[in-house]
């Protein structure tokens, strides 16, 4: 069982938690997500979506 856990960790890579002002999130090999206690203003939302689109990988779920 430990070998399976180690293999999964090696394949999935590290995960990162971050905070940008009131915006919190997590990034891993397969996903990135953002959370906020208050609504995100339109300017910040646009910047985040533009940044994610610039990576040209996957889809964005709003």
Residue 25 falls within a domain, yes or no?
A: yes
Average pLDDT, the chain: 85
Residue 48 falls within a domain, yes or no?
A: yes
Domain count, the chain: 1
d(CA 62, CA 49): 9
Residue 30 falls within a domain, yes or no?
A: yes
Residue 9 falls within a domain, yes or no?
A: no
- In tens, the pLDDT along 9-21 reads 788 788 899 898 8
The per-residue DSSP string of 37-58 comes to SSPPPHHHHHHHHHHHHHT--S
Q: Give the pLDDT score at 61.
A: 75
For residue 47, pLDDT beyond 80:
yes
Q: 27: domain range?
A: 15-57
């Amino acid at each position: 069982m430990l070998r399976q856990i180690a293999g999964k960790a090696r394949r999935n890579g590290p995960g990162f938690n971050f905070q940008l002002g009131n915006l919190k999130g997590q990034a891993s090999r397969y996903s990135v997500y953002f959370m906020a206690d208050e609504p995100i203003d339109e300017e910040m939302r646009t910047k985040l979506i533009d940044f994610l689109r610039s990576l040209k990988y996957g889809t964005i779920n709003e």
